[in-house]
Amino acid sequence: MSQMEALADAGAVNKDWWRGAVIYQIYPRSYQDSNSDGIGDLAGIVHRLKYIADIGVDAIWISPFFRSPMLDFGYDVSDYRDIDPMFGTLGDFDILLKEAHKLGVKILIDLVLSHSSDQHPWFQESSSSKTNPKADWYVWADAKPDGTPPNNWLSIFGGSAWEWNAERMQYYLHNFLTSQPDLNMHNPQVQQEMLDIVRYWLDRGVDGFRLDTINFYFHDTELRDNPALPVEDRNDTIAPAVNPYNWQDHQYDKNRPENLDFLRKMRAVMDEYPAATMVGEVGDGQYGMEIQAQYTSGTDKVHMCYDFAFLSNSYPSGTRIADVLTRFADVNKDGWACWAFSNHDVTRHATRWNLSEQASKVYAALLLSLRGSVCLYQGEELGLTEAFVPFEDLQDPYGIRFWPNYRGRDGCRTPIPWVADNAHGGFSDAKPWLPVAVEHLDRSVANQQDKPGSMLSFYQNMIGFRSTQPALITGALDLVGHSDAWISLIRTHEAQRLFCAFNLSDQAQDISLPDGSWTSIEGVPFETVTVAKTITLPPYQAFFARDANA
């Protein structure tokens, strides 16, 4: 019996630690450079672990650091079992795991299983002929009689999702860059290889995975055309408005029912380990919440998923938030959500929704009060806005292709400012791979640390408050009331009943409390409001009260 198994038998391991966990996403290229090459690395993360632990988060999700040609900055993997030298070594990763665990912080890594790099040895072999042992490891198809692609499927990065390969005289599928061929998950050998990769990292000590593009794993074997999406149903949730990807109803290139059986196989592997977890990224503009419900229902698939409900450009008024929560409750009866406002693929929400600092605080409080787990993106705790990156400094192929109508993802990926009195913000001694935004320097960690009222102090206090309230971590959620300007809800866990209200506007709002014997809660980083049947909540403030009769 292993040590972990012994601990589990002794009841020392909390298998459900992920429920209500606060997960901090790190984009490693932009966190901390330790070797002065202008690119963040694993050793840099180790150097900053104390800072991360002090925020109060439960886990870190690290974006890909596997060997890669970096055409999509690590989301094009050429070796799933090794670290790219840019980020360090397997030894560096082992140290990161050890030091994070000492601080009580778990580690989730980003697995990209839907596609690999075209430089992966698997693809090199697969593309060499139609009869090699890995010929069927990727999605290959013959051209139509006129030489055009097999069907109308489109790539998220623009253009056809099919690329011609002269060696095999066939097209291969790529839902993203042409250098990211889709793996054929209908092949049992491919599935087994993916499960073996999962085991490899779990055996190394990781606490779980963020699963990239989880709803892209399987394609329709009949290669049927996607139908057109009515104009009124198009949105820019997944791709920018300038991309015709939004014009299709993606019924056949993703979201396939065969994925459920594979997710069950993954869950069976995960359940061999005492407390491993999976959070899946569901990328879909029409069916995201329904897919999220399918993938997290019961106890035999993914532990939790997030869709793009709050990662879109749609402003989160109280009415919209209530609609999202109501819809989620309707379709997701027993699954678990993971909510996020920002990540490495979308414009930072402070800019996307044009939030002031105080507005950002009340929205953060709301995010940390929803039923589900929470993902915070690096720099969110500093109140970072989207950086403007000049065209000549752009790295993201997505932005380069659609500039200037869409600037790509570089603006949310610029390096973290650790100090204000340094041209590179303390991120590196060399020129960074992306420029440090000048406007971010005033929001540096050094400028905010131990400063009452700073955004960083607010996040630390709010996360600390959440950690003391079981109802906020795993309790049930009931909507009480809402308008465009405010929303209120009740969180309940065993004998604890909390009323939470959020003024999302720049005007005071009168908000009624439900029946109960309410007393305000100490330790909340907001103005004190006198408890009454109806409270007047100042602009961009939150209110928390406990029912003494519960």
As given in the structure block, the two tokens for residue 32 are 């901390």
DSSP state of 24: E
Backbone angles phi, psi at 354, to 5 degrees: 55, 55
Q: Distance between CA 474 and CA 237 in Å, rounded?
A: 28
Q: Distance between CA 39 and CA 396 in Å, rounded?
A: 15
Dihedral sign for Cα 113, 114, 120, 122, please. Answer: positive
Name the burial class of residue 436, with classes exposed (0-12), middle (13-18) and buried (19+) by CB atoms within 10 angstroms of its CB.
buried
Amino acid letter for position 392: E
CB atoms within 10 A of CB 409: 22
**Does the annotation mark 439 as catalytic?**
no
Write down the catalytic residue from 72, 212, 307, 547.
212
Cross-sheet strand order for the sheet of 277-281: 304-306, 277-281, 208-211, 106-111, 59-62, 22-26, 373-377, 338-340
Name the burial class of residue 539, with classes exposed (0-12), middle (13-18) and buried (19+) by CB atoms within 10 angstroms of its CB.
middle
Write down the catalytic residue from 5, 272, 421, 442.
272
> Do residues 304 and 235 touch, judged by C-beta distance below 8 A?
no
Of 467, 290, 448, the residue nearest 374 (C-alpha): 467
Where do we find the tokens 């839907």? 114
Using N-to-C axis directions, what is the helix angle for 455-467 and 357-367, rounded to 10°? 20
Q: Distance between CA 526 and CA 520 in Å, rounded?
A: 11
- Per DSSP, the three-state class of 442 is helix
Amino acid letter for position 94: D
> Do residues 42 and 88 touch, judged by C-beta distance below 8 A?
yes
As given in the structure block, the two tokens for residue 348 are 């930072």
> Do residues 27 and 413 touch, judged by C-beta distance below 8 A?
yes
User: Is residue 359 within a helix (H) or strand (E), and if so which, with residue range?
Assistant: helix 357-367
**Does the annotation mark 212 as catalytic?**
yes
As given in the structure block, the two tokens for residue 65 are 């650091």
Q: Distance between CA 548 and CA 535 in Å, rounded?
A: 18
Amino acid letter for position 52: I
Cα-based angle 537, 542, 543 (whole degrees, multiple of 5): 80
CA-CA-CA-CA torsion for 498, 501, 502, 506, nearest 10 degrees? -150
Strands 162-165 and 518-520: unpaired
Using N-to-C axis directions, what is the helix angle for 188-204 and 90-102, rounded to 10°? 60
Q: Distance between CA 493 and CA 510 in Å, rounded?
A: 27
Report the catalytic residues. 212, 272
